[in-house]
Chain A
Amino acid sequence: MQPKLSLLDDALIARILDEAYQLMLKPGIKVQNEEARKLLAEAGAQVDEETMIVRIPEQIVRQALETAPRQFHLFDYEDQPKVQYGGDAVHFDPGSSGICVLIPETLEHKTAVTEDLIRIIKVAESLPQYDAQSTAVVCDDVPKELHDLYRLYLVMLFSKKPIVTGAFTNTTVHHMIDMLAIFAGGRENLREHPRAIFDACPSPPLIWSNFGAGNLITLARAGVPAEIVSMPLAGAAAPVTLLGAVTQHAAECLSGITIHQLARAGSPIVWGGAASTFDMRKGGTPFGSVETAMIGSSYTQVGKSLGLPTHAYLGGTESKILDMQAGLESGMGAMIGALSGINMISGSGMIDSLLCHSPEKLVIDAEGIAMAKRMVQGMMIHTETLATGFYEGVNFKGGDFLKQRITLQLFQKEQHMPGKVIDRDSMRGWKESGSLDTFARARIRVTEILASYLRPELDPVQVAELHAFVLTLAKKAGMKNLPMIENFEFA
């Protein structure tokens, strides 16, 4: 039995949805994309072209919910379904779109460049806890016209895992779909077996920007999965109450799904977000706050009640270094997310409110994720009797159970074996290993992972095509060449 956390009962979910439907009528949703307004108007919504405010009747939304798929998969490079969106499947991926990386030697938050992203991809690739890659940081060594697609390019070169990504403009989303299509063997194959999902963000409160709605429409038409990332900031860009924020989130997602399904019914879409509270002391977005996790857990419960796949940003932290605050906030976030049965939980590896990435933190977070995943497996019944069968021949001595074959057979099923980052040594052993703290152990682990990493074998023809595609765009953006990527040979 998968243990589940429920912060809402059915009556409360019904109230949230009821008020979300009310919000879509009054004050309505501001839709800054002309095509989206046209789609909504044609479906029967009341559109004010001057204010761009659209009043969306419940019936249109219900229709969209009918056609939105309940479940779909993301596939890896080998065309294997590796991520299940739908039901209570739980997956984790690293956080996305950071701008800095933590330099372990100096603790400096350095602006990220190509080599930093490659390091993050390699570490995430090697850790089985991450079922998908993200496009983790923006690389400052390429022009901004390439920022979004260049991240995807690097992930495609260094990873075989499914990818959680996102475009920054209505033009580049087309390029990124084309890039994925090169590896998939065409847009049709990509639609059948998508490797990636794209985040599309409304702007709180209750706004679908030209870019957010434009991306939804493009993705729907391409049949490439879209993930709505609604970001109510409770107390600033959303009501201060957690339930108010969850309701606004529902209205933003429902309106987004409606635009998306009107563009092409049946295209895969996810009820997701990066909701948080608003810190009233520092004015930031505390992704490590427990209320942030409560909003995330609650809104995914609302999405599940509609039968939709779910996503949340959880496991973030405000800490600037890899200290106890980072560990406790990230660990709690991961655990709450897993217990909520959220299909994709994004945010691992990041500090400073999702601004800064750290391969070392990816390694530490992977341990928290492993614990959360073990928790989600719940209590398992492996044997005919729960206990009595174990006592035959027991001589009332400690250690007797160590000698039982069944202990050997079952211990790895019952106990998660942590990696070397988690210390369970004796004091003597710990001292002999250098008296290292978590951060120091993680640094060693990252060095080991990078040393043993093997680049995936990819079809050289596809790689050449991808490279040529990105290089053409880079030249248009004024670059002579792309940054050197560790002796990668492009045909």
Chain B
Amino acid sequence: MTEELFKQMAQSIIDGDSDLSVELAKKAIEINMHPLEAITKGFVVGVNYIGDQFGLGEAFLPELVMAGEAMKAAVAVLEPELIKLGSARETMGRVVLATVEGDIHEIGKTLVGTMLSASGFEVTDLGVDQPAEKIIGKALEIDAQIIGMSALLTTTMVRQREVIEELDKEGLRPRIKVMVGGAPITRDWFQKIKADGYSEDAVGAVKVAKELVGKGD
């Protein structure tokens, strides 16, 4: 019975079916299944499967994104129960993501968020056009290990440096590590602004994030 439920949970993620994943999460609570068990033995299995398939080039972004959404929906149901029980989900780390001030492009950043979530990170995505103080404020609030910043424009990428300088001024590095990305971001730029990590694509970003939290392969 439980095994069957776990399978259904995984499948709901693989199918990107948020309605079903929510329903199954509620069912888990009803039958007094531990929320952590539902997450790790059920839903995460589906996320990992899609993640692996994506890595192999067998699954595509829409599938990955839909799976991420279904996962998010299920966790949203289970998280309050988890807190009630006084336990927390063990994650790879906490990440704050944002597109820098003046820039409203977020496809790449959202993908990085999806990939990081799928890989077990707890991701807080602030969205676009975010000033340095908001990004840093959120990172402190949730005690994030990583700030990830995106910029698509050559005119706004300079804002990434401002956030890093601000962090340095406050003495918040190396406690908080900084990852940067976006179409105009090159290795030169990454080195110039002394960021901690950089990737040209979302798959690479996961690898970098794992290294930054000391959990690299």
Contacts and interface: CB of A to CB of B under 8 A. Distances in A.
Interface of A: 97, 99-100, 109, 111, 138, 140, 144, 147, 168-169, 203, 207, 209, 233, 235-237, 278-284, 353, 355
A41 to B, nearest CB: 23
Contacts of A207: 104
Contacts of B57: 281
Interface stretch (B15-23, B36-44, B118-126, B153-161): B153-161
Contact of A147 (B61, B155, B183, B189): B155
B146 to A, nearest CB: 20
Given A144-B158, A207-B104, A281 B186 contact: no
Contacts of B158: 144
Nearest to B107: A236
Contact of A283 (B61, B155, B186): B61
A237 B106 CA distance: 10
Contacts, number: 48
A111 B201 contact: no
A111 B189 contact: yes
Given A235-B62, A283-B201, A209 B104 contact: yes
B195 interface: no
Nearest to A240: B62
A97 B154 contact: yes
Nearest to B183: A355
Given A111-B186, A233-B107, A236-B107, A281 B61 contact: yes
Residue of B57, B183, B189 with highest tally of chain A CB at under 10 A: B183
23 contacts: A97-B154, A99-B154, A99-B184, A99-B186, A111-B188, A140-B188, A144-B155, A168-B155, A169-B155, A207-B104, A233-B107, A236-B107, A279-B61, A280-B60, A280-B61, A280-B62, A281-B60, A281-B61, A282-B201, A283-B108, A283-B111, A284-B201, A355-B184
A144 to B, nearest CB: 5
Contacts of B155: 144, 147, 168-169
B92 interface: no
B105 interface: yes
Contacts of B201: 282-284
Given A109-B186, A147-B155, A355-B183, 15 more contacts: A99-B184, A100-B186, A111-B189, A138-B154, A147-B154, A168-B153, A168-B155, A207-B104, A278-B107, A279-B61, A280-B60, A280-B61, A282-B201, A283-B61, A283-B201
A109 B104 CA distance: 27
B45 interface: no
A283 B107 contact: yes
B154 A168 contact: yes
Contacts of B136: none
B202 interface: yes
Contacts of B111: 283
B107 A237 contact: yes
Contact of B105 (A109, A147, A203): A203
Interface of B: 57, 60-62, 104-105, 107-108, 111, 153-155, 158, 183-184, 186, 188-189, 201-202
B61 A144 contact: no
By secondary structure, the A interface counts as loop
A292 to B, nearest CB: 16
Contacts of A147: 154-155
Nearest to B158: A144
A372 to B, nearest CB: 28
A203 B99 CA distance: 15
B128 to A, nearest CB: 10
B111 to A, nearest CB: 5
Nearest to B155: A168
A111 B185 CA distance: 10
A11 to B, nearest CB: 30
Contacts of A99: 154, 184, 186
Contacts of B189: 111
A90 B127 CA distance: 41
Contacts of A209: 104
B154 A144 contact: yes
Residue of B111, B153, B155, B188 with highest tally of chain A CB at under 10 A: B155
A252 B143 CA distance: 41
Contacts of A169: 155
Nearest to A148: B155
A432 to B, nearest CB: 41
A168 to B, nearest CB: 5
A207 B60 CA distance: 27
A140 B186 CA distance: 11
B46 to A, nearest CB: 19
B54 to A, nearest CB: 8
A427 B154 CA distance: 47
B68 to A, nearest CB: 13
Contacts of B61: 278-281, 283
B29 to A, nearest CB: 35
Nearest to B108: A283
Contacts of A280: 60-62
Contacts of A235: 62
Top-3 shortest CB links A-B: A280-B60, A111-B188, A280-B61
Nearest to A279: B61
A199 to B, nearest CB: 13
Contacts of A237: 107
A52 B62 CA distance: 30
A34 B105 CA distance: 21
B98 to A, nearest CB: 17
A353 B163 CA distance: 28
Contacts of A278: 61, 107
A236 B108 CA distance: 10
